[in-house]
Amino acid sequence: MRLRPPRFWTSETPHLAARALTPVSAVVSRIAQQRSTQPGYHASVPVLCCGNATTGGTGKTPLTLDFVRRLQARGHTPHILSRGHGGKQHGPLAVNPSRYTARDVGDEPMLLSACAPTWIGANRGNTAQLAVSEGADCLVMDDGFQNTTLNKTLSLLIVDGASGFGNQRVLPSGPLRESLENAFARAHAIILIGDDRRHIHRLTSLPILQARFIPGPEIRRLQGVRVIAFAGIGRPEKFFTMLREAGIEPVRTLSFPDHHNYTPRDIQRLDALRLEANTTLVTTAKDAVKLPPTFRAHTVIISVDVLWEDPTAPDHILDQLFA
């Protein structure tokens, strides 16, 4: 069963349930504020954090990959730091794809490790020290905006343009991990993914850089093909919408929970649907790292590219990182 956020989290009008939970939210907000003032480890190299202020997927991992590739193109040796959500290993450790699986270290670290050395561990200060000792000359954090164990050189808030900050209330009254005031005070810029449907620009004076996700070249294989799309990411609907915007209308879509580990029963069901409907299965790169190789061989895996509204924007961020 897929657990969905309460509908009142996205409501733009006051809701009775949100009001009733306000006392609990006040406690959560106070704890988050206290934690944000705790000192962290000062790394000897620049640290870029791609985080968010809300629960759920906003696109942190694709942005992390984009910045890592840009850093590599500049001749740097970036390492990636992740918590390793969904994995059995707690770290700190380096993600070795030949030794670990997504069940061990999490799906996102497995995906990230194909691009650059990746470390998992709740204490980002510890993983930062290990990464630097192994040759990292800069660090990129996939999530961890609220993690205080490592000081950041630059912190970016990744925001989904369609959902924004929801009802702008802190958990459990809303989707925020902390108050917007507290989050904005520590952020250096906002990366807005998609159109600003929630009027984010009215909430802050922070620089807002816009980008959107577009499917990778694999999408060409699906032109004129009947497909069944499935995804276990923060917001599967975003993946399905991306396919439709590229001219691919799935005959069926299946949503799984974020970080879902596909069971043999799931694989059997998906394979049966593929054969019965004479269709091609299509999924995300994040989901693909959790699929058996034999099954992955007949599934089209769509990567995601970042298209910046201002092509110079990411380079300006990296210039600041090393300023």
List residues forming the annotated binding site for ATP.
Answer: 54-61
In the block, which residue shows the tokens 């001219």? 247
Q: What is the DSSP letter of 117?
A: -
CA distance 102 to 111: 9
Q: Name the residue among 51, 71, 264 with its Cα closest to residue 178.
A: 51
Token pair 């032109």 is found at 223
Whole-number Å distance between alpha carbons of 193 and 202 = 16
* Residues contributing to the annotated binding site: 54-61
Question: Among residues 64, 69, 100, which one has the least CA distance to residue 82?
Answer: 64
Contact (Cβ atoms closer than 8 angstroms) between residue 190 and residue 209: yes
Residue pointed to by tokens 């630097």: 132
User: What angle, rounded to 10 degrees, do the helices at 60-73 and 313-321 form?
Assistant: 70
Task: Please give the Cα distance from 322 to 235 (Å, whole number).
Answer: 33
Contact 230, 273 (CB under 8 A): no
Amino acid at 261: N
